[in-house]
Amino acid sequence: MNKPTLYPLKFNPILKNKIWGGTKLKSVLNKPTDSPDCGESWEISGVPGDISVVVEGDLKGKSLVELIEEYQADLVGEKVLEKFNTNFPLLIKFIDANQDLSIQVHPDDKMAKERHNSFGKTEMWYVVDAEEGASLIAGFNKPTSKKEYLDYFNTGKITELLNKENAANDDVFFLPAGRVHTIGQGLLIAEIQQTSDITYRIYDFDRKDAEGNTRELHVEEAIDAIDYEFYGQYKTAYNNTAQEVELESCEYFTTNKLLVTQEISRNYTNLDSFVILMCLEGEGIFKYKGGVLNYKLGDSILIPNKLLHISILPSKNSKLLEVFVP
C-alpha cells in the first residue's frame, strides 16, 4: 500500500493550564479551550508524553514521531535526521502570561545531558501582544558573580539584580541556555525553543496554588546552570518594517519574520530542514505542489523538507514567523 504524499501539516494544539495562565490563547489565537488559566499551547512538540498529532488530511491521527519514522529525511531533512533520529529538535509554543511566570533558567546541552539525559534549552520569544506597561526579565542588570548572585538571593533581593525590560508588540528576545529570565504579566508570546521541558525555577514570588502549596524551587540546580555574564543589550534589534528579516539565528534554529501583503514565493531548495510557519496576523492560503492549505491567525504549520517551494497568498495582510534548523 502506498503511503500518502507529504503536505503542509497542522497539528492539534496541546493546551496546558498554568497557575499564571489566562484566556488570550482562546480570545486572541482561537485555541479550543474554555479554561480561565490556560498558559501554554504546544503547537508542534516531540517532547515524550506530549507528542503532536496531525489534525487533518490523509495523515490525520498520525503522531509526529510516527511521521518521522515513516518519512525520515523527506519530512525533517538529512542533517536533522542524522543528528536527532526520530527526536523532533524544536518545540513551538504560544504562551499567555496573565501573571508573572517564575524567575527561571535552563541548562545547556552538556549539563542537560549529564543530569537529565536531555537536550538543553535555548529559546527565543516574539511578543505577539503586550498590554500597556508589560515587562519581562532577561539576564542581569550589571556585571555580577556567583557569590554576588547568592548574596542577593539569600537576602531576598534577587529581583534587584535582574534586568527588567519593557516589552511591546513585535519585540524579540533571544535567551540562550543559562540566561535567567521570566515572562511578565500581560504578555502573549510566541516561543521557539529546543525540544526540552527542563526548567530550574529560582524564585516564584512566594506564590501559592489553589491548595495553598508553593511550587518546587530548584535553587541548587540553578547555581551552576546560570550564565553570570553581563551583556548590556538583551532585546534583539531588527528592521520591523522589512518584508522579510532574520530575527535570530543560532545553532539550533533560524527564525525569519515575513510581512505578506501580496503573493510571495518561498524557495526552500537549499535548506536541509523542515520549515515551520507561525501565523501571528492575517489569513490566506499556502499553495504547494499538489494542493492548497488555508492558514489563519494562531496556526503553526510544518512544511516537510520534501516540499521545496510554496507560495503564500494572503487574503488579509499577514505576519508570519518562518523557522527552520540551519
Active site residue 201: yes
Q: Provide long-range contacts, Cβ within 8 A and 24+ apart, for 62-71.
A: 64/11, 64/88, 67/9, 70/3, 71/3, 71/6, 71/304, 71/306
Tell whether the torsion through CA atoms of 244, 247, 253 and 254 is positive or negative. Answer: positive
**Residues present in the chain in total:** 326
Among 115, 179, 201, 207, the active-site one is 201
Q: How far apart are CA 20 and CA 29, in angstroms?
A: 18
Among candidate residues 51, 67, 63, 57, the one with its CA nearest the CA of residue 197:
51
Cβ neighbours, 10 Å, residue 304:
22
3-class secondary-structure state, position 286: strand
3-class secondary-structure state, position 48: coil
Q: Are 306 and 76 in contact (CB under 8 A)?
A: no
Q: How far apart are CA 83 and CA 102, in angstroms?
A: 32
Active site residues: 201
